[in-house]
A and B are shown apart, each in its own frame.
Chain A
Amino acid sequence: MKKSNPEREFFRRRAGVARWLNELSRKGFSYTGRKKSGVSKGAGWEVIVAPAIISIYGFGKKNKHYDETVKFLEDIKRRFLKKDCFVDFSSTSSITAAALVVVYAALDEARIKRTGNAEVIWSKKNQRVNAILRANNIHKLIRGVKFSYALDSVKSMPVISSVGSEMMEEIIDFIQKRIYVDMSPTTEHIYGDAVSETINNVRLHAYPEASPADKKWWLMCSVVGKQLYLAIYDTGVGIPKTVVERPWFLRAVELTHPEKYSDLVAEYPEREKSWLLALVPTKISDEDLIYLSMQGDVSGTKEDKHGQGSKSILALVNDTEDGVLWVFSNSGLYKFNQSDKKPELYRLPKSFPGTLVQWNIELP
């Protein structure tokens, strides 16, 4: 007869007792085969389904992440809280930082003046997605739970929503003290200048008709390895719609796109300047218009004192090794790599709601 190990016997007996106690406690219950979510799926609740990969980077023939993410944003805008609803992340296996801030803003805006109830359905694909949603208060936003946080007491920065220069100093403080070990005064100036000019652009240009309290922006700051991802987003009219109003704009088009400018003037010789400005988008794509806005005043007249923000925005990647700047706005994407100093321009397959300025910065 095989001699049993006393220790093994002890655990075997203890497991048996646990099974028996569990059996007693469940007497009268039926086994459903699936744990209840704790969410009452009332009749008539809508389900807004998040895509498998929430990202705004991938687009083209092989990659539909951008299209699917923008469709998700449109769904949120159209359906969130109009009726009671679930926001279903159960199939989501990945969410990028930049897309997160856009999703956050879509939920934040859609919940205004809507009275429905909402609940989150967590990812069954990846617990990391759930951790990201929790860390950024997405579940609270969906449920309509009020929350607050102080940046001096958090380990990682959640998505922040603000107006004007509120929170700006706290954000730079966070980057300076929590992310950089020893930030030089010059680096502090570059961050302060880039962030302040970007949020200043939101107030000046993004929402032409809105009151100051409604000129919202959202910011996310995330560190992955040695990379800092910083993004500022607004849901305004977009750069292509505002750049045409700059005093230097037509002259800049004439200098940078002489053929298109000649076509325009030849086509409408009698038209006044304001007409030509209105017709520019028929000749020049959104990505080219973003490119023009990033050049600022190229006419040499220096008429527009407001064309300075782009210099501050670019400075943050110009002064950091391997920095990348992304500007998504309407149907255009401008990408600038510090390494090759050459902007890349892309036409987006679907219009992007607002403007997102994102910096990828390699930390020292």
Chain B
Amino acid sequence: MHTITVVKDFNKKPYGRYPEDGDGCGQYFREKVLAPDLRKYGKVHVVLDGYNRYGRSFLDEAFGGLIRYEGFTYEDLKSRLTYTHSLVKSIELVIDDRLEAARKACE
């Protein structure tokens, strides 16, 4: 399994949705890190530890965007993508919610 640690492999303080929001935006994380790794490796685990202030927009654009823009299906992601934040479980719940919302939007 390939592991991505957001604060080490992408940005120490991820923020926002689009490039206008800065280099740590959700779109860049999805396009430059998450989607390429999902295409390269069978299983990917995202470690969100090290930063507790993730905004809903960042999480939606990064994870929900995999279904909306990158061509992944909800079922595929459920079998190959995992994510954890050891201290803030609600961050994992937001990602669950945004993946579900993206599935509804695209079905």
Q: Which residues of B contact A305 (CB under 8 A)?
A: 60-61, 64, 68, 101-102, 105
> Per-position contact with B for A302-325: 1 when CB-CB < 8 Å, else 0?
110100110110000000000000
CB <8 Å contact, B64 and A196: no
Tell me, rounded to whole Å, the shortest Cβ–Cβ distance linking B102 to chain A: 8
If A164-B21, A185-B88, A189-B88 touch, does A309 touch B56 (CB 8 Å cutoff)?
yes
Tell me which residues from 32 to 78 in chain B have a Cβ below 8 Å from any Cβ of chain A: 52-58, 60-61, 64, 68
Q: Do B21 and A203 touch across chains, with their CB atoms under 8 A apart?
A: yes
- The contact string, 1 if C-beta is below 8 Å from chain B, for chain A 293-309, is 00000001111010011
Would you call A263 an interface residue if the criterion is a C-beta within 8 Å of the partner chain's C-beta atoms? no
Bound Cα distance A188, B87 (Å): 11
CA separation between A348 and B61, bound complex, in Å?
36
Q: Contact: A308 with B57, CB < 8 Å?
A: yes
Q: Is B91 an interface residue (CB 8 A)?
A: yes
- The answer to whether A165 and B101 touch (CB under 8 A), given A192-B52, A197-B57, is no
Contacts of B89 in A (CB 8 A): 186
Within 8 A of B (CB), among A248-279: none
Which A-chain residue is minimally distant from B89 (CB atoms)? A186
Interface residue B29 (Cβ < 8 Å from any Cβ of A): no
The secondary-structure label for the interface of chain A is helix
Q: Cβ of A302: which chain B residues have Cβ within 8 Å of it?
A: 101-102, 104-105
Q: Hey, which chain A residues are within 8 Å of B52, CB to CB? A: 185, 188-189, 192
User: Which listed residue, A185, A196, A300, A309, touches B15 by the CB 8 Å rule?
Assistant: A196
A343 within 8 A of B: no
B79 contacts A by Cβ under 8 Å: no
- The smallest C-beta distance from A76 to any residue of chain B, in angstroms, reads 31
Does A84 make an interface contact (CB < 8 A)?
no
B21 adjacent to A192 (CB under 8 Å): no
Complex: A191 Cα to B53 Cα, angstroms: 7
Residues of B within 8 A of A212 (CB): 20
Chain A contact residue count (CB 8 A cutoff): 27
* A165→B20 contact, CB < 8 A: no
Q: Chain A 168-180 against B: per-residue CB contact (8 Å), 1 yes, 0 no? A: 1100100000000
How many inter-chain residue pairs (CB < 8 Å) link A and B? 76
Interface string of B72-107 (1 = CB under 8 A from A): 000000000000000111110000000001101100
Interface bin, chain B: 20 to 34
Among B56, B61, B101, B104, the residue within 8 A (CB) of A193 is: B56
Q: Does A117 contact B (CB under 8 A)?
A: no
Given contacts A185-B52, A302-B104, whether A168 and B15 have CB atoms under 8 Å apart is: yes
Contact in complex: A164, B68 (CB < 8 Å): no
Q: Chain A residues near B105 (CB, 8 Å)?
A: 301-303, 305
Contact with B along A70-97 (1 / 0, CB 8 A): 0000000000000000000000000000
Q: Are A172 and B22 in contact (CB under 8 A)?
A: no
Q: How far apart are the CA atoms of A301 and B107 in the complex, in Å? A: 10
Task: Name the distance in Å between A170's Cβ and chain B's nearest Cβ.
Answer: 11
The answer to whether B56 and A312 have CB atoms under 8 Å apart is yes
* 8 Å CB contact of B104 from A168, A188, A203, A301: A301
Residues of the B chain whose Cβ atoms lie less than 8 Å from the Cβ of A300: 104
Instruction: Give, as a whole number of angstroms, the nearest-CB distance from A184 to chain B.
Output: 8
Give the distance to chain B from A65, nearest Cβ to Cβ, in Å: 34
Complex: A312 Cα to B94 Cα, angstroms: 10
Find chain A residues with CB under 8 A from B55 CB.
Answer: 192-193, 196-197, 200, 312
Interface centre among B21, B52, B54, B89 (most CB of A within 10 A): B52
Judging by beta carbons under 8 Å apart, are A308 and B56 in contact?
yes
In the assembled complex, how far is the CB of residue B61 from the closest CB belonging to chain A, in whole angstroms? 8
Q: Mind listing 13 A-B residue pairs with CB under 8 Å?
A: A164-B21, A165-B15, A185-B52, A185-B87, A193-B54, A200-B55, A200-B57, A301-B105, A302-B102, A302-B105, A305-B68, A308-B56, A308-B57
Residues in chain B within 8 A of chain A (CB atoms) = 13, 15-17, 20-22, 52-58, 60-61, 64, 68, 87-91, 101-102, 104-105
